[in-house]
Chains A and B, each alone.
Chain A
Amino acid sequence: QSVLTQPPSASGTPGQRVTISCSGSTSNIGSKIVNWYQQLPGTAPKLLIYSNDQRPSGVPDRFSGSKSGTSASLAISGLQSEDEADYYCAAWDDSLSAYVFGTGTKVTVL
C-alpha cells in the first residue's frame, strides 16, 4: 500500500468546491515537494500541480494546491463535469528512496 493516503472518493455538484487530502509523513510530504496529477478515464495522467502549489501553463486556476506539515490538499473550485477523473498526489520519499503516488481519489460530479 502507498505511504500517501487519499480518500477513495469525493463528489460535488457543478459549481461547488471540492477538496482532496493527501496524508504522508516527515520522509515525504513533510520534507519534499508535492505534485498532483489528473487522470481522465482511459487516458494518461496529466500534471495538474507541481511544487505544492504551482500550476503548469494551461491548467485552469480553478485548481489549487497547498501543503501544511505532512499533509497536502488539492482544491477544485467551480466544479465542472469535465473534472470527473482520478486524482493522485505524489512526492519523493527519503526513507524508500522512491517517488510515491497517493492511493488516488475518484471525483464524481453529481
Chain B
Amino acid sequence: EVQLLESGGNLIQPGGSLRLSCAASGFTFSGYGMSWVRQAPGKGLEWVSAISGSGGSTYYADSVKGRFTISRDNSKNTLYLQMNSLRAEDTAVYYCGRKQDRPPGIAVAARGDDYWGQGTLVIVSS
C-alpha cells in the first residue's frame, strides 16, 4: 500500500526557516517524481515544487523560487522541502504527492499526482 507521511510543519516567525519531510512507503521511491502542493486556509490548491525520481531535475513556482529547495534521499525514501525566508503568505497546509509514471513521453512535472499525504500545517506569524 502506497503511503506518504508529511512532517515538520510548525509555527514559525517571518524570516525563519523550516524543513518539511515526506516519508514514502509501499512503492519504489526512486522510480517516481514527487511534488509539494500547498493550500492556504480557505483557499485553493497551489503547486509549489516538483522533483524527478533521480533528483536531477527540479521545478519551482515563481512564488517560492530562490527561497524553497526541494530534494530527496532515495536511500531513505524521503522527500524534503527546505523553506527559507518564510513569509506570512506561505502559511498553508503542505501536501506531498507522488507523480504518476504515465503517460509516457510527458514530463514528470506535468503528470498527475496519484497519491497524496495527509498534509502538514505551516503557520508563519509573529
The residues of A with any CB-CB pair to B shorter than 8 Å are 2, 32-33, 35, 37, 39, 44-47, 50-51, 54, 56, 86, 88, 90-92, 96-104
Category for how many chain B residues contact A: 20 to 34
Interface centre among A39, A45, A100, A104 (most CB of B within 10 A): A45
Given A33-B106, A91-B110, A99-B35, A44 contacting B50 (CB threshold 8 A): no
- Contact: B44 with A100, CB < 8 Å? no
Contact B46 A101 (CB under 8 A): yes
Residues of the A chain whose Cβ atoms lie less than 8 Å from the Cβ of B110? 32-33, 91-92, 99
CB nearest to A96 among chain B residues: B62
Q: Are A37 and B95 in contact (CB under 8 A)?
A: no
A21 CA / B59 CA spacing, docked (Å): 27
Nearest neighbor of B43 in chain A, beta-carbon distance: A104
Contact between A98 and B45, CB atoms less than 8 A apart: no
Q: Pick the interface stretch among B22-30, B66-74, B75-83, B113-121.
A: B113-121
Q: Is the CB of B44 within 8 A of A99?
A: no
- Which of the residues A35, A96, A98 comes within 8 Å of B112, measured between beta carbons? A35
Interface centre among B35, B110, B119 (most CB of A within 10 A): B110
By a CB distance below 8 angstroms, the chain B residues around A90 are: 45, 47, 112
**Does B87 count as interface, using CB distance less than 8 angstroms?**
no
A101 and B119 within 8 A (CB)? no
Q: Given the known inter-chain contacts A44-B117, A46-B116, A99-B35, please indicate yes or no for A39 contacting B59, CB distance below 8 A.
A: no
Asked whether B50 lies within 8 Å of A99 as measured between CB atoms, the reply is yes
* Assembly CA distance A10 to B86 (angstroms): 36
Q: Report the 3 A-B pairs with minimum CB-CB distance, sorted nearest first.
A: A92-B110, A50-B112, A35-B112
Give the distance to chain B from A25, nearest Cβ to Cβ, in Å: 15
Residues in B whose Cβ lies below 8 Å from that of A92 = 107, 109-110
A44 near B119: Cβ-Cβ < 8 Å: yes
Smallest beta-carbon distance B111→chain A, Å: 7
- CB of B37 within 8 A of chain A? yes
The docked-state distance in angstroms from the alpha carbon of A51 to that of B99 is 13
Give residues of chain B (80-99) contacting chain A, Cβ–Cβ below 8 Å. Answer: 95, 97
